[in-house]
Each structure stands twice: as C-alpha cells, then as structure tokens.
A and B are shown apart, each in its own frame.
Chain A
Amino acid sequence: MGIFRKFFEKLKYTFKRTELNDDFYDELEALLVSSDMGVETALDIMDELKIVCKKKLIKDIEHAQIELKNILIEKLQATPIEFTYPMIITVVGVNGVGKTTTIAKMTKYFSKLKKSVLLAAGDTFRAAATEQLTDWADRLKTKIVKQGEGADSAAVVFDAIASMKAKNYDVLIVDTAGRLHTKTNLMKELEKINNIINREYPEAKKLNLIVLDASIGQNSIAQVKAFKDSVNIDGIVLTKLDGTAKGGVVYPIINDLNVPIVFTGFGEGVDDLDTFDAERFVDKILM
C-alpha cells in the first residue's frame, strides 16, 4: 500500500478534506486518463466506483481507495496462458517496442525453468536485426537459426522448426520484423510464418505474443486489433515499464479483446522480465 497511498495523500492535501466530492472525481479522472487507459475506460471505472461507494455507504477517501484498487485489479483479469512444451512462441509487434530485447529476456526466463531454447531470426527486414539477435544469442549461449538480411522469414522459421524437432528443443522463439500494423504485405508475411508453424509442427503449443510499449497511447489498441485480424494473438508482453509510463492502455485491450498480459519488461537487462502481477501494475497506476 506504500506507493498506492501517495495519490490519496495528495488528494487530501490538495482539498484538505476527505469527502468523495466532484473535486475528488476530477482528480481521479486526471489520474486514470494519465495512465493511458483512455477516457471511456476511466469514466467506466469512476462510475463503478460511484456505484460501489453508494451501495456500501462509503463516504470517505480511505475506504474508496480500497474499492478503487479492487476494481482496477479485477478489470485486468483475462483467460490466463499455460506453457506446455514443446512450444513455439512467435513474437510480433510494431517497430521499436522492444521485440528483440524481449526475446532475449524470454530466453533467459525459460532457461531458468531448465528448458532448452532455440531462436529464429525472422526479422529479415530491418538493417542489422539478425546481428542484434545473434549478439544476444551469443551472450546467452543460445543457438540461433538465421539467414541474411532480405531472406524469406518463413524459410528461416522452416529451418528452425526442423532443427527444433531434430534436437528436441523445448522452446522455439521466433523474432519477426517490426511493422506498422497498417502495412498489409508485412502482415501477410506473418500469416505465412503461422501457416508454416501449423503445418510443420502441429503438435507443438503455439503462442503468438504481441509486444506493446507502455509509453504508447491509444494506438496500442489498434495494433492488437490489426494483428488479431491476421493472426491469433494469445497474449501481451508489456515493455518499458521501468519508465514513468503506466501502460493503462492494456485495460481496453484486456476488456474488449480478452488478451491477457503474459510478461512485463522493465529494463534493458536480460533479467528485467517478469510474469504479470496485477497488483503491482495497479499500484503504479495509482502512484
């Protein structure tokens, strides 16, 4: 509750009282909207809070904050994901959200679970993307399947699956080219990669994870929708939570699209990845 209290301390200080008046709701709206959850979600949450407070006859900030936190946590619930092996994770997302770094972190994560990990350098589009992933693979002592820049990414994935089957890897993580979700030809490429995986290794557990940058605003919703239109999206990796960005945009994504957050990233080191913790996430929003 430590960090969480700050906002309400501030409120009390600002208004020198503890009632749930219009000033309180104005401040609350500012706080919620500033997390990037969107004005509609913010209004929904405030309405819910008002109803709960009325029902439970809550009139003071102290009790309202507990209810608010409950609402915020509850709204983050979505069907969770289970890891079963062998598993192929395809990592997608727009340019610059931190896909490659996230892959390095996930490699470390599964290694710690004593799973063998193979990487596929499927971003054959961006200059030096393969080098960047190779660099990580070297540091993590992980095998990587790659071809040159401009190669067919589906072919890289094909090779990687063959290698995975031959050597019994538990996890294959496929990097893909960052693309603005409005570029249809690159989205087609993603469909092709998915088809290859389905065809070549139907028994494996398949996960498509979308990497979202916490500092990006409402456009993240459009990103998930667009990727969802071409391939199935099973979960979110929310990156860059080490900054001051709150990443509240996941609220409309979880509520409207039922895509759960699987991992959160909070730094550039390989260990800076965690499974999603709703309470901690909410604490940051209310900071």
Chain B
Amino acid sequence: MALFSSLSERLNHIFSKLTKHGKLTELEIKEAMREIRVALLEADVNYSVVKDFVAKVSALAVGEEILKSLTPTQQVIKIVRDNLIELMGGDNQKLNVSPKPPTIIMMCGLQGSGKTTMAGKLALKLKKEGKKPLLVACDIYRPAAIEQLKVLGKSIQVDVFERGTQNPVKTTKEAIAYAEKFSLDTVIIDTAGRLQIDEKLMQELKEIKKTINPTEILLVIDAMIGQEAVAVSTAFNDALDVTGVILTKIDGDTRGGAALSIRSVIGKPIKFVGVGEKLTDIEPFYPDRMASRILGMGDVLTLIDKAQEAVDEKTAREMERKFRENSFDLNDYIEQVNSLKKMGGLKSVLSMMPGLGGKLKQIEEQIDEKALERNKAIIQSMTAKERANPDIINGSRRQRIAKGAGVSVSDVNQLIKQFNQSKEMMKMMKNPKAHGGKMAMIRKLMGQ
C-alpha cells in the first residue's frame, strides 16, 4: 500500500519547509523546485520528463498569480498536483471492446514485466464481468512459458489455446478461428517478452498485429523500471502503436516514476495496474488519485471506494446515526474492526489518509494490527448487555471477560479506556452531515 510513499514524503518535507514562511519568495520557489526535481529523479521519472516538468511548473509558480495569492503553499501544491495529473493523463480509460466479436487483446513487453500473470488477471477480470475469454500462449521462447499460462488458465477455468512452438502468427490466427467457433468473445494473447531493440522479435509482433488486427495492444511494464521507461515505451509504441499500458508490481515499495514518464512520452493511457501476486490483484489506474498520493494528499477517493465495498449502505447509515447521537457501543466497535479488515487493515487505510504523509511511518510503527484482533476477542467475551452498555462492566465482570478472552485484566481496562476516549473524540467532531455521508464514514472509521 505504500505506493509512491517515498516521493510523497519528500514533497511533504519540501512543503512543510515552505509553510513556515508567510509568503513565498522566488528564491523559495526555486528551492522547492530543486527538491521536486531531485525527488522526481529519485522516483525514477525520466530525466528529460523531469526537466520539462520542472520548467513548466516553475514558470507557473514564479508568476504573479502565486505571489499575490493568500496561501502560496497551497497554490504551489495545486500547480504541481495538477501538472502531475496532466502528465499521467486525464481520466481513467476502460478497455476497448470490438463491435464485432471477438475483442482481441494483445499483450507485449520486456522479459519479466509480468505479461503472463497479467494475461491471467485480465482473463479473470473479464470473466467476472460476464465475458468469455480465451487465453492464447504465444511465448514459444521461454522454457515452460506455455505451461505457466496453462496452469493459470486452469486455476481460473479459462480456456488456453496453444500450438506448442509453432509460429506465433499462425497460432494467433488459429486461436481467433477457435474463439469464433466456440463463441468466445475475448481473445487475450500472451506474447514472448523481448527487448525493444530485438529487431527480429519486434518484427514478429508487427506481423501478429498485421494478421489479426487487435482491438487493444497493451504494453506491460514493470512499475520499478528506471530511466529505460522512455526508450522501451517509445520503441514498442513506434513499432505497434499500442493502445494502452499496464503497470505491474506496484504492490512493492517502488516510487513508480515510470507512470509519469511513460504517459508523458508516448501519450497512451495507463489502463490497469497489477497490485499483487494473486490473480484478483488488478485495479484500474487513476492518475488523479495517484497524483494526490504523490503529494501526500492521501488517496481519499480510493479510500471511499474501499469503504463503500466493505460497509453496506444500510449499516453505514445506521453507524452514522449512532455516531451522531453518540450512542456508539462496543457492538459497533466490532463491526468497525471487521470493516477495517475488509478494507485491508488499519495500516492500509491510514496510508490513504490525507495529511499523514510524512508522519505515516511513525504512526505505522505504533499500530499493532493484532491489538485490534485482541480487542475483538475481548468484546466477544462480553455479554450483549455489557457490549451495549460498557458502563456496567465492574471489577468482577472485567475478570470474567479477561479469562474468556485469554487476556489480562489490564488489557480489558485499556480497551474500555480507549473506547471511552474514542467516544469523547467523536463528541468533539463537528456535524458529519455537513460533509455528506462519505466523509462521515471515513471520520468514523478513523475514530477508532
């Protein structure tokens, strides 16, 4: 979840320095821009892309507009953020669907970028959306690549078409005939990984393209890629005129500058990101969210999405009412712990919160996800009455609860203390309605 966190930490650091002054001087902007430049370079954004970006942002920031504004720091952040979003390309773009089935999706990229796994992920995603995908194994060079796709296909119950080491151009043609015959509406072609300077293999891709005319040609790129991002994406795009990009392995701690480089250089949208090793680990790419995260503004939008998935509308409204009336009890606490778990745990939620940026590491060290589980066990050892009205929990009740949960009495005491503090905090919060249900939900989740 710590996606882009290092970059956001850096930028936070820059801006926290800026906020110490009243108004920005040109010198300060220059200083900030120098650090933004270093931060972007360390995030693996391509050298020329950084150069252009910094020049552009500096020009905007040094102008009158910013110096006359009331909150210069916010202005700088806004300009940087807006330009980052622009660099990564407007709105999220969906997969194109061919008006005449089958829709053909061709995957290409360097060796080790994660094409085969991503082909499996896409197939599963499309299958869940009601499509009937066919996976086509065209990596005839890497030992056991076909076997790998077959294993993946079997695990998600999607057909895998293969013709051994037969010429891939021929195989793709046959695969499409096969898909038409069995009414499979989406064909996903896994091609061999290749270097962009390997003329023979690049020619093979061009021939496949010419023969089957794919609806989508997706360039799969490892999010950890360095300065090469530009050379690689340019070469593949020049050869194939790709329709989009998939960034893989962003679940690691990469700063992911490639996202900025690729889009700004080839002008093609990043359509998906691979966020883990499981075949369900695929998500759409949202430039705005990513930019916000880079700037340590948190990823409020993703958080809201996740919160909506984890908490159903009715429960959420009920919670909000309790929250407002401050009648939140320990039963609700359990509900909240469960929701948090569904959202990927407290750390995951925190990493998406705005304003934490640099402090996140500190906070993370103090969080003990196990404590949440322990608290759950304690609450489950309480009677319904005790849960609804924690005030009645006296000494002997505490002892019984501690025994039941397998913890010490002091653990029970601590939980009750924490709970009472949370309630106090909630009381102090302003009317949640003012910001709509969603914000209330988040605030409530953070009230733990």
Q: Which residues of A contact B (CB under 8 A)?
A: 30, 33-36, 38-40, 94-98, 126-129, 131-132, 134-136, 139, 149, 180-183, 213, 215-220, 222, 240, 242-246, 249, 268
Q: Would you give the shortest CB distance from A38 to chain B, in whole angstroms?
A: 6
Q: Does B67 reach chain A (CB closer than 8 Å)?
A: no
Within 8 A of A (CB), among B217-233: 222, 224-228, 231-232
Given A95-B112, A216-B224, A217-B257, verify A39-B251 contact (CB < 8 Å): no
Please, which residues of chain A bring their CB within 8 A of the CB of B152?
127
Within 8 A of A (CB), among B139-154: 141-145, 147-148, 150-152
Partner of B224, one of A38, A149, A219, A246: A219
Q: Would you give the shortest CB distance from B197 to chain A, in whole angstroms?
A: 6
Identity of the chain A residue whose Cβ is nearest the Cβ of B37 in the assembled complex = A39
Q: Would you give the shortest CB distance from A41 to chain B, in whole angstroms?
A: 11
Q: Which residues of B contact A (CB under 8 A)?
A: 2, 38, 41-44, 47-48, 110-114, 141-145, 147-148, 150-152, 155, 195-197, 222, 224-228, 231-232, 249, 251-255, 257-258, 277
Please, which residues of chain B bring their CB within 8 A of the CB of A220?
224
How far, in whole Å, are A244 and B232 apart by their CA atoms in the complex? 9
Partner of B47, one of A30, A128, A246: A30
Structural contact, A33 and B227, CB atoms closer than 8 A: yes
Structural contact, B111 and A216, CB atoms closer than 8 A: no
Partner of B249, one of A34, A38, A95, A242: A95
15 pairs, A vs B, C-beta closer than 8 Å: A33-B41, A36-B226, A126-B148, A131-B147, A149-B151, A215-B222, A215-B232, A217-B227, A217-B258, A220-B224, A222-B253, A240-B111, A243-B197, A245-B227, A245-B228
How far, in whole Å, are A33 and B257 apart by their CA atoms in the complex? 14
Identity of the chain A residue whose Cβ is nearest the Cβ of B224 in the assembled complex = A219
Q: Would you give the shortest CB distance from A53 to chain B, in whole angstroms?
A: 23
Q: Would you give the shortest CB distance from A190 to chain B, in whole angstroms?
A: 16
How far, in whole Å, are A244 and B41 apart by their CA atoms in the complex? 19
Please, which residues of chain A bring their CB within 8 A of the CB of B110?
215, 240, 243
How far, in whole Å, are A250 and B306 apart by their CA atoms in the complex? 39
Main secondary structure on chain A at its contact with chain B?
A: loop
Structural contact, B148 and A39, CB atoms closer than 8 A: no
Structural contact, A127 and B112, CB atoms closer than 8 A: no
Please, which residues of chain B bring their CB within 8 A of the CB of A268?
111, 141-142
Q: Would you give the shortest CB distance from A3 to chain B, in whole angstroms?
A: 15
- Counting from the closest, the 10 A-B pairs by CB-CB distance are A217-B226, A96-B112, A217-B44, A135-B143, A132-B144, A127-B151, A128-B148, A131-B144, A36-B226, A128-B147
Please, which residues of chain A bring their CB within 8 A of the CB of B226?
36, 215-218, 245, 249
